[in-house]
Amino acid sequence: MALKIIDYNSTAYKDMVALRMEILRKPLGLTFSAADLEKEKDDIFLGAFDDEKIMACCVLTKMSLSECKLRQMAVHPSMQYNGLGASLLHFAENVARDAGCKTMVMHARKTATGFYEKQGYAVCGNEFEEVTIPHFEMRKLLF
Ligand SMILES: CC(C)(COP(=O)(O)OP(=O)(O)OC[C@H]1O[C@@H](n2cnc3c(N)ncnc32)[C@H](O)[C@@H]1OP(=O)(O)O)[C@@H](O)C(=O)NCCC(=O)NCCS
């Protein structure tokens, strides 16, 4: 499995959006608008590839000089619970560090908080709703 940074609007980016649609949006009856995708054009896109096929992805948004937000973390159902999510998350943390970030923050789905806790993230604050489902803010200091 190759972990790579993906260019916005490239073929790999379009494949990544399709994966995000399938895993994160469709089950909630939601989609991405052209405006949603335009808004993320300056973000950093990461993918795990088996040959050319994207099997997992996430997005980093730089919130300030020292803080990155992790978004859109998704692993193909055929690969879940095989360590791929953890590998991609560690890659994302390294990319965030290289971009000067000292903290990673995210809005984690309640169902995924256990995964992030295993990777050293801590819940901050109360449960809230986003994309129709419960979430928690989670954070980790990147050393
Ligand atoms: C959540 C997700 C990204 C995790 O990726 P993954 O590749 O399945 O996870 P890994 O195999 O790397 O798991 C690493 C550890 O976390 C655990 N884990 C994985 N998903 C978990 C979850 N939802 N809750 C609790 N623990 C979880 C694994 O059992 C493993 O534990 P171990 O180290 O003791 O063996 C992936 O399952 C997924 O895409 N889920 C659907 C979409 C989603 O919820 N995305 C997150 C949005 S915030």
Which residue puts its alpha carbon closest to atom 4 of ligand 1?
A: 85
Domains of the chain: residue spans and CATH: 2-141 (3.40.630.30)
Rounded Cα distance between 24 and 48, Å, is 17
Q: What is the dihedral of CA 17, 22, 23, 27, to 10 degrees?
A: 130
pLDDT tens digit string along 41-50?
Answer: 999 999 999 9
pLDDT tens digit string along 83-114?
Answer: 999 999 999 999 999 999 999 999 999 999 99
Pairing of strands 67-75, 44-50: unpaired
The pLDDT assigned to 143 comes to 85
Q: Which of 54, 71, 79, 81 has most ligand 1 atoms within 8 Å of CB, for mutation?
A: 81
Which residue puts its alpha carbon closest to atom 25 of ligand 1?
A: 114
CA of 117 to the centre of ligand 1 (A): 10
